A and B are shown apart, each in its own frame.
Chain A
Amino acid sequence: MSDWHASYRERYKKLKEAGKPFFPHTVFKDALVAALLLAVLSWLAWHHGAALEDLADPTDTTYNPRPEWYFLFLFQALKFFPGHLEAVAAILLPGLGMGFLALLPFFDRGPERHPFDRPWLTLTGIGALAGFAGLTWAGYNSPLTNPIVEKDPVALEGQRIYRDLNCSYCHVLGGRGGKVGPNLDLALGTRDELWLTKHFRDPQSVTPGSTMPKLNLLDDEIHSLVAYLATLGGGPFTSEAPKLFAENCASCHMVKGKGGDMGPDLSLIGSAREKSFLRLYVSDPSKINPSSSMPGFAGQLTDAQIEDLSRYLASLR
């Protein structure tokens, strides 16, 4: 195996003696390259500088970070591995790559050095470079969504559509945006998903005289937008919620003139109480008001139903 070591040492010794001294020959070349690099660096630093965005805002979860370009390929690779498999792309692939590089001199031990004499390793290297370039290119051209910050791809797509359509020119969301249309931070909780779906298909169908343009969205896109809006704040309730109210609450509570009068009228409850309070109250009133005669619904309704119901109640104002 190592019989070529001694002959290599001998051959190298001759080659070295026949070569030129490090100074000035190599030093000259190195200095030339360094000067060129310094010139390019200075030009970039002078004309482009370094960007500084807004101050970090840990509460702004809508920000999609752009990784440094040389990490873009990894970012893009993560998109091919949904769910728990992300761990494969995130840890295993770079780990294997680094392991391969670290162990390289221990499994490639023959005397062959020319790329054509090591076809497999040469092809592996070219393949890795092509993969890196391809993924970087794809990552550069695809919308900057981050598969790890946000787990739900449908909601994420909705977020992208929201941004692409420039909804924020007219609507406030998360405290930012224009004032032409309703403030979505306030209005969102008052609408159910069915309403939103109709609204996105044709705004005039649910709001006659609305100045919002008809967006000609595909059903998938509408679904994504609704899913995105559902992740925000109190979020919209489903069309089940009013039915739940009619079945479980209307015998004692009145809403807009319909229902019993055993308990308080809830027509405007949303302006007095917020969703989290209502959810707690519906689950177990005795925790908040020990003298209440209202039964708790914690065992009778599922958590999802109570959440839905609370969203509906919070929208009554």
Chain B
Amino acid sequence: MISAALAWTFERTGVDKIWEALFARHIPEAKGPVAWLYALGSATLFVFTVQAVTGTLLAMNYVPSPDHAYDSVRFIGSEVYFGRFIRGLHHWGASFMVVLVALHMMRVYFMASYKYPREATWLAGVGLFLLVIGFSFTGYLLPWDQKAYWATMVGANIAGQTPFVGSYVSKILIGGAEMGAATLSRFYALHVLVLPALTGGALVLHLFLVVWHGISEPPKRVEKGS
């Protein structure tokens, strides 16, 4: 009975094939502490999940307008059940994301795991790194406190320094000549709609390529004379 039900499910959904491809696949052996470096990618994915979950919870109480943003963040911190904890997780998770992405990238850089046939995996990873920076920059403004406002002002000014197109870049970024309501709603839309969508796409590509090529084996010294 059970085996019949399982067979029916496998035939209709292919979960057994997916299990074989994802979980039963073999991984080249890495010995000693080096093996733990291979956990950095999945650690980044895990913290990203934490960010997605806590971010969704925060979005339920956050209002992206200069009149209410600051008060809604205070409300989250003082009134919402576990609001302070959830905002704390999201805040520290943001730093963790940057650290873990950087460490993961360093692992791949120093082990030269970006080499044939994994060039495209590396490129998707560089894209994901830029997206994390984008998340960090747009998210910084949302609490609409002094630090948020002035740090974003500096960021927009830095973007405005780009030769030739600088003034257009900063105008597009902050939604006009001055920072204000347009900037906040723009950053919010980028932070919760555009960047997650792009990240989702790049992440699926990155993970597919990791499974497709197989994770790179730990490097060995080139043997003399071979």
Q: Is the interface of B mostly helix, strand, loop or mixed?
A: helix
Contacts of A49 in B (CB 8 A): 77, 84-85, 87-88, 91
Which residues of A from 36 to 92 have beta carbons under 8 Å from B?
A: 37-38, 41-42, 44-46, 48-58, 60, 63-70, 75, 78, 86-87, 90-91
**Chain B min CB distance to A74 (Å):** 8
Which of B111, B146, B219 is A57 in contact with, Cβ under 8 Å? B146
Alpha-carbon separation in the docked complex, A118 to B217 (Å): 17
Q: Are B110 and A125 in contact (CB under 8 A)?
A: yes
**A243 at interface by CB-CB < 8 Å:** no
| The stretch of B5-13, B137-145, B187-195, B196-204 that contacts the partner chain | B137-145
Q: Identify the closest chain A residue to B169 (Cβ).
A: A91
Interface size class of B (residues with CB under 8 A): 35 or more
**A116 at interface by CB-CB < 8 Å:** yes
Which residues of A from 203 to 262 have beta carbons under 8 Å from B?
A: none
Q: Are A55 and B116 in contact (CB under 8 A)?
A: no
Contacts of B129 in A (CB 8 A): 101
Known: A16-B27, A33-B39. A113 touches B162 (CB 8 A): no
Q: Is the interface of A mostly helix, strand, loop or mixed?
A: helix
Q: Are B27 and A26 in contact (CB under 8 A)?
A: yes
Contacts of B144 in A (CB 8 A): 55-56
Q: Are A54 and B25 in contact (CB under 8 A)?
A: no
Q: Identify the closest chain A residue to B30 (Cβ).
A: A19
Total interface residues on A, CB under 8 Å, equals: 79
Q: Are B110 and A44 in contact (CB under 8 A)?
A: no
Alpha-carbon separation in the docked complex, A20 to B25 (Å): 8
Alpha-carbon separation in the docked complex, A116 to B111 (Å): 10
Which of A52, A98, A118, A122 is B126 in contact with, Cβ under 8 Å? A98
**A268 at interface by CB-CB < 8 Å:** no
Q: Are B146 and A22 in contact (CB under 8 A)?
A: no
Point out residues on A near B: beta carbons under 8 Å: 2, 5, 8-9, 12, 15-23, 25-27, 29-30, 32-34, 37-38, 41-42, 44-46, 48-58, 60, 63-70, 75, 78, 86-87, 90-91, 98, 101-102, 104-106, 108-118, 121-122, 125, 129, 146, 148-149
A selection of 6 A-B contacts at a CB cut-off of 8 Å is A19-B26, A29-B39, A48-B92, A113-B113, A114-B219, A115-B110
Point out residues on B near A: beta carbons under 8 Å: 22-29, 35-36, 38-39, 42-43, 46-47, 50, 66, 70, 73-74, 77, 84-93, 95-96, 98-99, 105-106, 109-119, 122-123, 126, 129-130, 136, 140, 143-151, 153-154, 157-158, 161-163, 166, 179-180, 214, 216-217, 219-222
